[in-house]
Structure 1
Amino acid sequence: MENSKVGCLIIHGFGGSIYEVEPLAEYLAKEGFVVSCPQLSGHTGRIQDMKKATYEDWISSAEEELLKLKERADDISIVGFSMGGLIGVNLACKHDIKALVTINTPIHYWNLNRVFLNLIEDIKNRKTDNLQRYMRARKNSPVAAMYNFLLLLNQTKPLLCNVKCNVLLIQAKDDDTVRMKSVDYLYEYLSSENKKIKYYDKGGHQILRSQSADEVITDVTSFLKSLKSNIEFPD
């Protein structure tokens, strides 16, 4: 199909917002993709809303936007940042998806050694940047929400073998939230024939807001464009 439109659903992470993925979304839109960035249910910035939403609500809110995107685009790819990657797996099992990109998606979480090194860095630099970030993460993660995250993780693992679309797995080596073996687990159990891992030395968990953001965005864009040679993108 000539001049068909390519849609990209970009899903943010647990306790986060569209801010986490906005640089990628804006770039893909400029490159001619039809982009949608849903705000997951309960992710309003209010703790009481986060407590009420279940992991089924998170998936449903992303799926609702996916269905809308299907009305505007011919081929759909999903990019999931952190927990958004788990939601992406669920949607890829249920819908006809061209590609799935995961960015720092957790199977094994909290790299405590990296957390310790980050806190040491705070002390050396006489700053509290990392400490404040960890405190904010704790504040924005009520027990009910954490429980639902674990439910999502446990119910997603058995689904990995059902994913057969093209896959790009992105992982920052200095990610303090997601352990490196997570990406190895994803690679092993996803059934896709076309799957690859791309590692980045720097960037941390919020890699799309880091010094490696431009490189990641370029790699994701190139990967998505490579899958559809008969689609025309603007110069």
Structure 2
Amino acid sequence: MISSFDFELVHDIRSNIGILLFHGMTGTPFEMKKYASFLFKQGFDVYCYCLPGHGNHPISIYCVRWKDWIEFSKMKYRELRDKYDYFFLGGLCLGAVISLNLCEIFTDISGIICLSTTLFLDGWSIPKYNFLMPIGLYTILRYYYTFPEREPFGIKNESYRRLIQKLSAKNNVALDHYPMNAIYELLRLSKLTRKYLRKITSPVLLIHSKHDDLTSVKSAELVFEKISSSQKKLIVLQNSYHLVIHDNEREDVFKASAEFLRGCIKPRAEVCL
């Protein structure tokens, strides 16, 4: 099913460098648009599509499984990979986990950018009653309960946070809560991805905030430690929360991402960009 949120930013004269982006859980490609537009202006072709269970009726996410996300992402990767000499993956939150998982499967990925990688739900804004979550996650109750999204909504910048809230209120397909079943599927995928991190040899850039309200920097540190990539970098932000591509240090995130992509293709980038 094609979503109105899907986008493909492709140059008239196709670049030989492409990147497929994955949005976060309960989000849509809309949250990746500014980041994608920046990369497009840097000379890269950029693609982003709604993950299964997202971008249409909110009830859809209650029926999705982690395998649906992975199969869809693998399909998109296969469709696009052969069009480019260099092809990258990038993602935010759940999207970062998907990027890592695909990098464990495909050996021809030119590199991946992981933003606010969510392997654990251990951020500082997670409620103190979080220890009760297994009761909901691992029983039939997960189909009936939700985990409410709450202040600060992943954004430290207060003015931008208010803007995002206004935009979200007008968007009838974005969720203001995390269905327990979706969290369950995210954690299942995260567990599987952690198991095979050592299989990753492609270049990896990890960007994570020290003050991420949803998932602590532990997730990024674990990935950095376990992957077998010879080219890897971890950037820890100091003035942002979870949505690093929208927060106070977004310009730093944008620039670091472009530098990483160029660094992976430097011998030919000077000719192509």
TM-score by length of 1: 0.84
Q: Whole-Å Cα distance in 2 between the matches of residues 182 and 67 of structure 1?
A: 27
Query: Counterpart of 2:192?
Result: 155
Query: Counterpart of 2:232?
Result: 195
Q: Whole-Å Cα distance in 2 between the matches of residues 197 and 163 of structure 1?
A: 15
Query: Counterpart of 2:112?
Result: 100
Match of 2:79 among 45, 68, 72: 68
Query: Counterpart of 2:248?
Result: 211
CA RMSD across the alignment: 2.6
Query: Counterpart of 1:87?
Result: 98
Per-residue deviation, residues 60-85 of structure 1 (Å, max 9, x unmatched): 22222212221321211111211111
CA contact (8 A) 1:167 1:192 kept: yes
Query: Counterpart of 1:110?
Result: 122
Match of 1:29 among 21, 24, 40: 40
Query: Counterpart of 1:122?
Result: none
Q: SS of the counterpart of 2:222?
A: helix
Q: Whole-Å Cα distance in 1 between the matches of residues 250 and 125 of structure 2?
A: 23
2:179 is the counterpart of 1:142? yes
Q: Whole-Å Cα distance in 2 between the matches of residues 11 and 69 of structure 1?
A: 14
Per-residue deviation, residues 184-215 of structure 1 (Å, max 9, x unmatched): 11111111111111111112111111121111
| Percent of residue pairs identical | 26
Q: Whole-Å Cα distance in 1 between the matches of residues 193 and 43 of structure 2?
A: 31
Please state which structure has a larger fraction of its residues in helix. 1
CA contact (8 A) 1:115 1:176 kept: no
Q: Which amino acid aligns with 2:96?
A: G
Q: Which has the higher contact order (CA 8 A, sep 6+)?
A: 1
CA shift, 1:113, in A, is: 5.8
Q: Which amino acid aligns with 1:11?
A: F
Aligned residues between the structures: 220
After TM superposition, what 4+ stretches of structure 1 lie above 3 angstroms from structure 2?
Answer: 113-116, 136-140
